[in-house]
Structure 1
């Protein structure tokens, strides 16, 4: 994990390896990070869901990737970049229940086709860019309610 501190921005870059033995580590660390910052439980839950779904996609479909979380005064961004197979049809992949998961992935209880649709549902802003044979980049943004913004100086 790489951590960078700017004046009012905290950036964490988490490496993610493919394979289920690594699944859930990053989202757990992100959840702990946000809890230490006393953010609302609903925001922590949404960020954790988005991060876990992105992490599971990397573990399921890619050799490796990174998840970058930036905590800013008014919002949180999550960016997941993988070196995987890419997505042939993004529009189809966004349909709830659509899955390209292998039988092996499904036998482990994953691959229900809810990952990308959940990421979109729990993000205020969601963008996806994918190139077949190269990988996928997800960008998510979640707003922090005004009452939790830092005081103006």
Structure 2
């Protein structure tokens, strides 16, 4: 199964829509609740990162019998220092984003902790692609 969701930067009213839809689909497919939780945490964090940091993006979700692959492609500023961005507590979120309760610097670390595979491709002033794999074991 293949799903695509468009995400607009700055639109926090729809943040979490894709993760909610994928959660419903995985429940209907009878996926293990522990796996569903990992998928939802990783996808929600990545989705909010697009909303908080990028101009726009697209989420591609591919569900296969053995697991799910999520690819989040955004148009945005890119990540200047991926290693630093992976540090718990490090954040480049704006004060406005932080005032809404986001931007605690846990997004990328939470994605990494919940994924079986995780990669980041980024280009400054162009955008970032996250690829997240979670097995249904």
TM-score when scaled to structure 2?
0.97
- 1:97 counterpart = 2:89: yes
Q: How far apart, in 2, do the equivalents of 1:78 and 1:85 lie?
A: 21
Give the structure 2 partner of residue 11 of structure 1: 2
Q: How many residues align?
A: 136
> Secondary structure of the residue that 1:105 maps to in structure 2?
helix
CA deviation after TM superposition for structure 1 residue 68, in Å: 0.8
Residue 65 of structure 2 is matched in structure 1 by 73
Aligned to 2:122: 130
Partner residue of 1:115 out of 104, 107, 115: 107
Q: Deviations over 1:31-61 (max 9, x none)?
A: 1111110100011111101110010000001
Unaligned runs of 5+ in 1: 1-9, 146-153
Over the residues paired in the alignment, what is the CA RMSD in angstroms? 0.7
Aligned mates of 2:19, 2:67 — CA distance in 1 = 17
For structure 2, the 5+ residue unaligned runs are: none
The 5 Å alignment of 1:38-53 reads 38-53=30-45
Runs ≥4 in structure 1, deviation > 6 angstroms? Answer: none
Deviation larger for 10-19 or 112-121 = 10-19
Higher relative contact order (Cα pairs below 8 Å, separated by 6+ residues): 2
Distance 1:31 1:75 in 2: 13
2:10 counterpart of 1:25: no
Bigger radius of gyration, 1 or 2? Answer: 1
